[in-house]
Structure 1
Amino acid sequence: MKIIFASAHDVDPDTWINPLKALIPDAEIHPWVDNGPTIDAQLAIVWNPPADIFLREPALKAVFNLGAGVDAIIKRPGLRDDVAVVRLEDAGMSAQMAEYAVYALVRASRQFDQYEKQQEQQVWQPLPDIQRQKWTVGVMGLGVMGTRVAQTLAGLDYPVAGWSRSAKEIAGVESFSGTDQLPAFLARTRVLINTLPLTAETTGILCLDTLRQLRPGAYLVNVGRGEHLVEADLLALLDAGHISGATLDVFREEPLPQGHPFWQDPRITITPHTAAASLREETIAQVAGNIRRYMRGEPLTGVVVRDRGY
């Protein structure tokens, strides 16, 4: 069994390849070499893979992603319909995503950003107590990440609803699904948290038409993909006062370019795509376990439904 390892990030063999070899001793794992020869790999382990990976390795039968989002894989030329695309299912990411959502929500609802300004001015002035019922939360996308986020925030007694393509039942979370129920979901939401996968249907979903349906003074948290957000529309709604602020972890262009208007906008909090990193040891164990299942002819977990994009 030949496996090609192609990652745009850390390529130190001791970081990924050697630990994977230890867990899959019956496989040959070859690091990707730019302009290198074809090795006739049957499997690939990737993160943001080279553009020509499927053209150079036409014998691939399955590709295992080192993250949850697979849009970078699906866009690569030469990907055949019969190649299984397998996403990372968690590997410690859902807990981090929930932590990030708590941070963004509590910072806004408990007015901690205003307390930071008071500290700079040496002002001691308690602000009004929180009224949680007024901080209605809506989570877009109820996969592994979104479900953990919704459950965590509901556990803090915020009124939480979730919206997804198909109906989901989560204890303590009001459920909305499909395009017909999206307006009702948005109308009851003050804090919108986006955890959707990036697909043709979700690209640009955070736009003027969608965001202006939120409750006045709404707050946006985007931890999905930068392409979900129409950036000019967010700025327009911030200027109009309909949206009071945003916490953004993902952007259409990363790193966020110098001079981008988001950098200097005090209403926007920026983090550099760090909301939920796949933890290395957990990721290696999950990918290696799935590959061992493949080698035994057993069903894989995390296989992407290609026409859905997740």
Structure 2
Amino acid sequence: MQILIHSADAEQWQAAIAKALPKAKVMTSDAALAERQNADFLVAWQPPGWLFEEQQALKGIINLGAGVDALLDNPALPTDIPIVKLRDAGMASPMIDYVRYGVLHFQRDFDHYARQQTNRQWLEQPVTPKAEWGIGVLGLGAIGARVAQALAADGFPVHGWSRHPKQLEGIRCHHGKEGLATLLGQVKSLVTLLPNTPATRGIINAETLAALPHGASLINPGRGSLIDEAALLEALGPVNAEPPHADESVSGDTGRLRGAVLDAFSQEPLPADNPLWTHPRVLITPHMAAPTPRDAALDQVIDTLKAWLAGEQVPSIDPKAGY
């Protein structure tokens, strides 16, 4: 079995996989063409088109991440090869931490306290109980489900949404267009953990943002393509406007949305002239919410390679659905 690795840390993956599968020939995409073009399996993150074009015998691809949009958008990607993506693989725990922080940022008024500090203002804000702070989680895959259940365990009423019906203990699950409308009207923090697919691109737009209660907040550690940035800026309102608390009415000189915590963007790195950088109610992080832990991911990669080597069927993504 010949395994080809392509990623920013390909040498570390090469060493780990070679140790776990000593009989396999494991090489990086820096290997000589004569060696790498005969790979049986590709383990990669955002491989370039030329890597596919030179392959002669590829039987399977393992995507080193939960998002496969960059892979599927590659015009050189073969159409008849199974693709397996990482599912959770240790990413759920840091994602839970990130989302939990984003929720508490608004529920415990840390955004207001930051503005008060700028004005040297000492004023305690009344705390909204967790039981009154509804949270919506869009996307109930392996990671989204874990996030939703962790927030529910914290004491928040959690609504989950997916394209198709799902059931999760402790979560009020919704699906479809009507289910999304129902969810949006009941949450004070909206968390987006959907994959990037034709059906989800731009799902956070003027219509969905207008359906949120006044003073709601947005947390996006998922995919940047989910958000219409112009609509988000419009919903946030002028940079010098006082943001509404949840459920407050909105005046003509302020926005509807209280604030946003954003980790993913349609263009990355986020261009320096993007107005989101300077909006005082937007907190930006550089796509760091849930890095892939190599040790946890390695187990999935090895299990998949062993299954393929044994001729077993491995659950792969649906390229048309995008996940």
TM bucket normalised to smaller:
over 0.9
- Is 1:20 aligned with 2:34? no
- Note if contact 1:54-1:77 (Cα within 8 Å) is conserved in structure 2: no
- The CA deviation at 1:123 is 3.9
Q: Gaps spanning 5+ residues in structure 2: where?
A: 238-253
- The CA deviation at 1:178 is 1.5
Overall identity of the aligned pairs, in %: 38
Q: Residue 98 of structure 2: SS of its match in structure 1? A: helix
Aligned pairs for 1:258-297 within 5 A: 258-297=272-311
Instruction: Indicate which of 227, 231, 245 corresponds to 1:233.
Output: 231
Q: Residue 52 of structure 1: SS of its match in structure 2? A: helix
- The CA distance in 2 between the partners of 1:168 and 1:58, in whole Å, is 41
Match of 1:304 in 2: 317
Match of 1:84 in 2: 82
Q: Residue 49 of structure 2: SS of its match in structure 1? A: coil
Q: Residue 16 of structure 1: SS of its match in structure 2? A: helix
- Note if contact 1:52-1:76 (Cα within 8 Å) is conserved in structure 2: no
Match of 1:221 in 2: 219
- The CA distance in 2 between the partners of 1:77 and 1:201, in whole Å, is 20
Match of 2:41 in 1: 43
C-alpha RMSD of matched pairs (Å): 1.7
- Note if contact 2:107-2:127 (Cα within 8 Å) is conserved in structure 1: no
- Note if contact 2:49-2:77 (Cα within 8 Å) is conserved in structure 1: no
Match of 1:198 in 2: 196
The one-letter amino acid paired with 2:221 is V
- The CA deviation at 1:251 is 0.7
- The CA distance in 2 between the partners of 1:173 and 1:262, in whole Å, is 32
The one-letter amino acid paired with 1:304 is I
Match of 2:152 in 1: 154
Aligned pairs for 1:237-256 within 5 A: 237-239=235-237, 240-256=254-270
Match of 1:211 in 2: 209
- The CA distance in 2 between the partners of 1:223 and 1:141, in whole Å, is 11
- The CA distance in 2 between the partners of 1:179 and 1:123, in whole Å, is 44
Moved more, 32-41 or 171-180: 32-41
Match of 1:176 in 2: 174
Cα distance change on mapping 1:291 and 1:215 into 2, 3 Å: same
Match of 2:6 in 1: 6
- The CA distance in 2 between the partners of 1:81 and 1:305, in whole Å, is 11
Aligned pairs for 1:124-135 within 5 A: 124-135=122-133
Match of 2:30 in 1: 33
Q: Gaps spanning 5+ residues in structure 1: where?
A: none
- The CA distance in 1 between the partners of 2:235 and 2:54, in whole Å, is 46
Cα distance change on mapping 1:123 and 1:216 into 2, 3 Å: closer
Moved more, 194-203 or 255-264: 255-264
User: Normalized against structure 1, the TM-score is what?
Assistant: 0.93
- The CA distance in 1 between the partners of 2:163 and 2:120, in whole Å, is 48
Q: Residue 76 of structure 1: SS of its match in structure 2? A: coil
- The CA distance in 2 between the partners of 1:246 and 1:34, in whole Å, is 44
- The CA distance in 2 between the partners of 1:116 and 1:229, in whole Å, is 26
Q: Deviations over 1:230-269 (max 9, x none)?
A: 1111000111521110000001111111121111111000
- Note if contact 1:54-1:76 (Cα within 8 Å) is conserved in structure 2: no
- The CA distance in 1 between the partners of 2:257 and 2:124, in whole Å, is 24
- The CA deviation at 1:97 is 0.8
Aligned residues, how many?
306
Q: Residue 258 of structure 2: SS of its match in structure 1? A: strand
- The CA distance in 2 between the partners of 1:298 and 1:230, in whole Å, is 42
User: Normalized against structure 2, the TM-score is what?
Assistant: 0.90
Q: Deviations over 1:194-249 (max 9, x none)?
A: 00011111111111111111111111111111111111110001115211100000
The one-letter amino acid paired with 1:77 is P
